[in-house]
Structure 1
Amino acid sequence: MKFKKFLKYIAFLLLIGCLGFLYSFSGKRNSNKKVTEIIIEFEAGDNQFLTHSMVNKLLIQNDTTVKNQAKSVINLYSLEKTVSENPYVENAAVFLTISGTLKSIIKQRTPVARIVDKKDSYYVDKQGVKIPLSSNYSARVMLVSGVKQEEEVKEILPLISFILQDNFLQKEVVGIEKFADDEYQFSVRSGNYKIDFGKLSEIDVKFKKLKAFYNKTFEDKTIEEYKTINLKYHNQVVCAK
């Protein structure tokens, strides 16, 4: 009985040793394998700021492409960090497959507005992150002027978010201008008139008043008579012809 147990113990050790050897051999063989292909995938979305060739230029290690380099020398952390730091990238994942393919999956930032200034012009996403303009792609978003400081951009984001969450407002409001007294005015798609929104207070109440006013004036076509629609006053809409 003891001898049989001893044989089983030896057999177990031999099995563990063989498995360890095979694992080590397989790992070494895999690490020496070269990168045969680079695949770049963009997550679903309308943005086209980045192209495959632009990302390929980011996947550089030691001043050369990672293709045909051994898998063991590829610094995935460094490559992923480089891609993630691109201003058009929100999230990026870079990894190697067993077959030797270097794969990069990228989610591009989604602009919600374009900040227009005399000195500069750029997009911002829903977190207020600055996105530079691109020669590859022009996003169709509302224009925002009169906003210069980063704090002012953060301040207006709830208003932009409210507009974008409403199907009608998203199509209607095409521009927002901030004035020195911290009041806002909208440019709209449906006419040449302006909407005086006032300060960023009671946002939902003001838009309810605007929709109710639209329902009436669109129906009788009197909307065409006005130059400004003022939402600043409590429980009323004041218009100027």
Structure 2
Amino acid sequence: MNKILQIILWIITIVAIVVVLSFVNKSQKSRVFDAEQVRVNIDYETENRFVDEDGVKSYVFNVKDTTNKLLGDFDVLNIEQKISGNSAIKDAQVYKTIDGKIIVNVKQRRPIARVFTRNESYYIDEYGSLMPLSNNYTSRVVVISGILNEPFASRYKFNYQNLPDSLSSKTLLDDLFILTNYIDKSSFWKAQIEQVYVNKDLDLELIPKVGNHKIVLGGVDNLDNKFSRLMVFYKKALPKTGWNEYSEINLKFKNQIVCTKIYN
């Protein structure tokens, strides 16, 4: 008897929920759209400002929509797709609330490096994908320049964190992502390294913010070892000699640091 009663109660509860949801859905569809009820939440934790509230709202509605358009006329999935089509946006979630609001939650992509080739410039984001520049905002990240011929149009579809082996020998961008991602994950090196330069031998050189020297890294092999040696040199040698004693610090050679002095 108790089991039968429990089943009946469950059925009544389910029916009640369906009725309430149906009522809410019908109420939403017949509600007149109010532009003031659109709420936009943008993830600004990374301090990037590629998109703003007005820009996001332009994907949700236009001037015509503010005159006697019903809330039910807005397709949230379609709005999400429009917003996600913005190259600066990583993810967009759109939904309607019971009280008639349209909520838009946006997460921006986070660049970790800016590439300058002979003819163009673009970003590499934290996931290894290429990202075009924005007219709204310029991100302060490590700059990559030098002997580079990596056109955005033929490279942007690749994710350099998961680049196929068949392509890895055809581009420097996978190595540049590995290096800048390593720098990005260290608060010290992120604050210290200003630029990565690709020289004529395709060696990677680092230009620090402090000091007049350049750091010849070579390739991206053994990064832990190379940066550990550099850190020891920074802590033990440079405080004694001064930050402007050397023009070059070379880490290419195994377990060695080869320095070139500045001669006046």
TM-score range, shorter chain: 0.7 to 0.9
Matched, 1:240 2:260: yes
The number of residue pairs the alignment matches comes to 229
Distance of 2:17 and 2:250 partners within structure 1: 78
1:24-48, CA deviations, whole angstroms, 9 ceiling, x for partnerless residues? 5554233211222211111241111
Q: 5+ residue gaps in structure 2? A: 1-7, 156-170
Q: 5+ residue gaps in structure 1? A: 1-8
In structure 2, the residue matched to 1:118 is 118
Provide the TM-score with structure 2 as the length reference.
Answer: 0.77
Determine if contact 1:228/1:239 at 8 Å carries over to the other structure: yes
Matched, 1:215 2:235: yes
Deviation at 1:229, TM superposition (A): 0.6
Query: Counterpart of 1:199 in structure 2: which amino acid?
Result: G
Between the aligned residues of both structures, percent identity stands at 28
**Runs of 4+ with >6 A deviation:** 15-23
SS at match of 2:139: coil
Query: Counterpart of 1:154 in structure 2: which amino acid?
Result: D
SS at match of 1:115: strand
Change (3 A) 1:64 1:183: farther
Distance of 1:238 and 1:125 partners within structure 2: 33
Query: Counterpart of 1:58 in structure 2: which amino acid?
Result: Y
Deviation at 1:68, TM superposition (A): 4.9
Matched, 1:198 2:218: yes
Deviation at 1:143, TM superposition (A): 0.2
1:44-82, CA deviations, whole angstroms, 9 ceiling, x for partnerless residues? 411111111111222247x84477521222111111000
Query: Counterpart of 1:171 in structure 2: which amino acid?
Result: A
Provide the TM-score with structure 1 as the length reference.
Answer: 0.84
Distance of 1:176 and 1:19 partners within structure 2: 59
Distance of 1:155 and 1:122 partners within structure 2: 16
After TM superposition, the structure 1 = structure 2 runs for residues 92-241 of structure 1, keeping only pairs within 5 Å, are 92-146=92-146, 147-149=148-150, 150=155, 151-241=171-261
Q: CA RMSD in A?
A: 2.8
Deviation at 1:154, TM superposition (A): 2.7
Deviation at 1:167, TM superposition (A): 2.0
Which structure has the greater CA radius of gyration? 1
Distance of 1:91 and 1:23 partners within structure 2: 27
In structure 2, the residue matched to 1:3 is none
Distance of 2:139 and 2:208 partners within structure 1: 18
SS at match of 1:31: helix
Query: Counterpart of 2:136 in structure 1: which amino acid?
Result: N
1:161-181, CA deviations, whole angstroms, 9 ceiling, x for partnerless residues? 211222221111110012353
